[in-house]
A and B are shown apart, each in its own frame.
Chain A
Amino acid sequence: MQRIENLMKAKAIELLENGTVNRVLGWTAGDFYYDNTPAIFNSKEEIEKSFVYNSFCGANLSKYLVKERKNEGKILVFLKPCDTYSFNQLVKEHRVNKDNIYIVGIECQGHLSIEAIKAKGIDGVVGLEENGEEVTVKSIYGDKTVVRGEVMLEKCLSCKSKKHVAYDELIIVNEMPEADSMKRFSKVAELEAMTADERFAFWKSELSKCIRCNACRNVCPACTCTKCVFDNPESGVDAKANADKFEEKLFHIIRSFHVTGRCTDCGECSRVCPQNIPLHLINRKYIKDINEFYGEYQAGADTESKAPLTAFTTSDIEPGSNLKEGK
């Protein structure tokens, strides 16, 4: 990890100094090792002071490029494999200006989740040390060692691809583990196997936790509307809170439908949810359905292809025919 970080820093400084870019989008170190924050660096000094790349850089930087579009000059951005899918999708939707972006694709061995570490009963975490497959958690209540694979972010445990689908150059030192994109759908299949009542009960108990903080929406690279319907008093569905016990389902159904076919399954929505609602399962259900109804499709894999839901062909499945088959 340290080696990758050093290479990234050197690359950032090189590109700043030779004038290829005028700013760098990466992560800045926090106070506990696990609390890094996305940040823009403008100089060598800033990079040397606080640039960081460790196993807590799960945040997808692609969406910040939408805001950066308004600024002058070229920006360097470090993207993990999954982040490049979001990038491509943003290019496809004309939300970012590709010509003003320099992408360095970076090695990713999977990122870790502090929530998963805490769920193991480890609290008072004030630092971590990474040692290959082992992570030593420094805690005010005594240090503990855990296996990386057990405390990874959900999105990394079910990584769809270790291939960068957009980049100007790559920084990869160690081999990255193979990804199995089908593994993502096992929990969806479990939900499909439930009865409608069981499934309703599952979603009711999960979604009822929602506090409508909008973190899922605001982090989502597919949610780039200037004014979301839920913020627009003219829309008739604007709301800041759930008026009754299960009104939040409306928000989630509308939002997930709106990103269907555009959601790359980047997993950010689930990562940021303060109530740990498994939002990825909603999106993955739609992805699985699209795959089954229209043939395999991965949003963000490229910048040109037509998406199944926005391109009509005569061989398209008849609406409702799946219901007749009782699926």
Chain B
Amino acid sequence: MLKIELNKLNDLFAKISSSTDLILPVTVAGETNFAKYEDGAEVNLSVQTVKSAKDSFFPQAEDLMKFKTEGKKIDIIDVREKVESFVLFGVRACDYRSFEILDRVFLVDPIDTYYKAKREKGVIVTLACSRPEESCFCSAFGIDATNPLGDVTTYIADGFLYWNANTDKGNALTDAVKDLFAQADSNDEAKIDEQKKNTKEILSKLPYANVDLSGFTPDKLNELFNDAKWEELSEACLGCGSCTFVCPTCQCYDIKDFKTNDGVKRFRCWDSCMYADFTKMAHGNSRNFQLQRFRQRFMHKLVYYPSNNEGIYSCVGCGRCVKKCPISMNIAKVIKTIGGKNND
């Protein structure tokens, strides 16, 4: 394990960004989100980002192709640029798990080549949590916030950032920045172990840490779908997209054509199942009420996705929707209301 003093982190960021793009939590106008490192950027590693880290692989808007028309002739133009390798730094355990969840959607047949290209070129440096928030419930999904994976795992303790490479990609990145680091010793490791122990203690006591998910099983699909409680749960929902757009695992997108001067640009952008036009088709809409849209978001994460993916839920308990919903309705409250017997 290597270590670097926290006040030298900017040297590290400058060094990494001199050869590749470096994406990390940056504060702009008071809010922290993943953004490209630039000289003078206000890096903030101590708060959870508003949006998740998924933009790096699945950006909110992305061009797919262009069509150029000349008379009756249509040319299809590939607009993909060669994806260069980049470093995604400061990813928490919940967001890291979300990549695995997205992989099971975008990297299965038919493979999404746009996503795949970025996923292959990204080097992920994770950061262990030491100060969880009350809205966190990653542990309910079996995620260890104190020990995230990734190409490199980092820990912040006692004025230092500790660095541990886990993969070939991680080793290659380490080689490029090694001279900024010192070797950590067994004292340091003891410090990190101590921190992990304390953090785990806090994690286990968080209000939503022990929400009971056992009620969400594929065989109860109809029963859950028809649960009368959806009505009161969805009653106040504004049908905005806040919960879906801050969520690391929401994966739905819309494809749209945009008319340009000499043809058509086709792009995709995040969509939200909470929106009224989400399932609009030629014949009409299969979800006409907010109750149906609201139910979809949670049924997808807690029932449909797991039934196609060996029981893995597509929520990582990051708590972003808990923090950001304008009317304070969220997946934790849904789980508590209809999820299992042990929820009070």
Residues of A within 8 A of B (CB): 30-32, 34-40, 59, 64, 123-126, 139-141, 205-206, 208-209, 211-215, 217-219, 231, 239-243, 271-272, 274-277
B134: which of A32, A218, A243 is its contact (CB, 8 Å)? A32
What 5 pairs between A and B have smallest CB-CB spacing? Answer: A241-B269, A272-B326, A35-B328, A241-B61, A215-B240
Q: Which of A37, A40, A214 contacts B241 (CB 8 A)?
A: A214
Write the residues of chain B forming the contact surface with A, with a CB cutoff of 8 angstroms. Answer: 28-31, 33, 50-51, 60-61, 131-134, 202, 205-208, 232, 235-236, 238-242, 244-246, 254, 256, 258, 267, 269-272, 275-277, 322, 324, 326-329, 332-333, 336
**Residues of A contacting B208 with CB < 8 Å?**
31
- 21 A-B residue pairs with Cβ-Cβ distance under 8 Å, sorted by A, are A38-B327, A39-B235, A40-B235, A59-B327, A64-B236, A126-B207, A140-B134, A140-B206, A211-B245, A213-B272, A215-B242, A218-B239, A219-B326, A231-B275, A231-B276, A240-B269, A241-B61, A272-B240, A274-B242, A276-B30, A277-B29
A271 and B275 in contact, given A39-B232, A125-B134, A213-B240 (Cβ under 8 angstroms)? no
Are B258 and A243 in contact, CB atoms less than 8 angstroms apart?
yes
For residue B236, which residues in chain A have a CB less than 8 angstroms away from its CB? 37-39, 64
Given A35-B328, A38-B236, A274-B246, A140 and B28 contact (CB-CB distance below 8 Å): no
Q: Which residues of B contact A31 (CB under 8 A)?
A: 207-208, 332-333, 336
A123, B134: Cα distance in complex, Å: 8
B267 touching A243, Cβ below 8 Å: yes
Task: Report yes or no: B134 in contact with A126, Cβ–Cβ below 8 A.
Answer: yes
Give the docked Cα–Cα distance between A205 and B31 (Å): 11
Known: A209-B29, A275-B31, A275-B50. A37 touches B267 (CB 8 A): no
Q: How far is the CA of A179 from the CA of B328 in the complex (A)?
A: 28
* Chain A interface, DSSP helix/strand/loop, else mixed: loop
A291 to B207, CA, bound (A): 49
CA distance A85 to B310 in the complex (A): 52
Is B240 a contact partner of A209 (Cβ separation < 8 A)?
no
CB closest chain-A residue, reference B330: A35
A-B contact count (CB 8 A): 120
Decide if A211 touches B254 in the complex (CB within 8 Å).
no
Q: Please name all residues of chain B whose beta carbon is closer than 8 Å to the beta carbon of A271 when the two chains form the complex.
A: 326
Distance in angstroms from B62 CB to nearest chain A CB is: 9
Bound complex: CA A211 to CA B245 (Å): 7
Cβ B270 vs Cβ A215 within 8 A:
no
Contacts of A239 in B (CB 8 A): 269
State A272–B208 Cα separation when bound (angstroms): 23
Q: How far is the CA of A243 from the CA of B260 in the complex (A)?
A: 13
Other CB < 8 Å A-B pairs besides A31-B208, A214-B240, 16 of them? A31-B333, A32-B134, A37-B327, A59-B326, A59-B327, A64-B236, A126-B134, A139-B134, A211-B50, A212-B245, A213-B240, A213-B241, A219-B238, A240-B270, A272-B242, A275-B31
Contacts of A212 in B (CB 8 A): 60, 241, 245
* CB of B129 to closest CB in A, whole Å: 12
Least CB distance from B141 to A in Å reads 18
Contacts of B269 in A (CB 8 A): 239-241
Q: A79 to B125, alpha carbons, bound, how many Å? A: 49
| Candidates A59, A124, A209; contact of B133 at CB < 8 Å | A124
Give Cα A38–Cα B235 distance, bound, in whole angstroms. Answer: 8
Which residue of A is nearest B48, CB measured?
Answer: A123
| Residue of B61, B205, B254 most packed against chain A (CB within 10 A) | B61
Nearest CB in chain A: distance from B147 CB, A: 20
Contact A243 B333 (CB under 8 A): no
Nearest chain A CB to B189 CB, angstrom units: 25
- Is there an interface contact between B30 and A241, defined as CB atoms closer than 8 Å? no
Give the docked Cα–Cα distance between A259 and B69 (Å): 40
Q: Which residue on B lies nearest to A211, using beta carbons?
A: B245
A215 CA / B7 CA spacing, docked (Å): 38
A59 to B310, CA, bound (A): 40
- Output the least CB separation between A282 and chain B (Å): 15
Shortest Cβ distance from residue A276 to the other chain B in the assembled complex, whole angstroms: 6
Residues of A within 8 A of B277 (CB): 231
- State how many angstroms separate the Cβ of B112 from the closest Cβ of chain A: 17
B276 touching A242 by the CB < 8 A rule?
A: no
What is the bound-complex CA distance between A64 and B327, given in angstroms?
Answer: 12
B245 to A213, Cβ gap below 8 A? yes
When the two chains form their complex, are residues B31 and A209 in contact, meaning their CB atoms are under 8 A apart? yes
Contacts of B238 in A (CB 8 A): 215, 218-219, 272
B61: which of A34, A39, A206, A242 is its contact (CB, 8 Å)?
Answer: A242
Given A38-B236, A123-B133, A274-B246, residue A211 in contact with residue B31 (CB < 8 A): no
Give Cα distance in the complex from A293 to B153, angstroms. Answer: 60
Q: Which residue of B lies closest to A220 (CB)?
A: B238
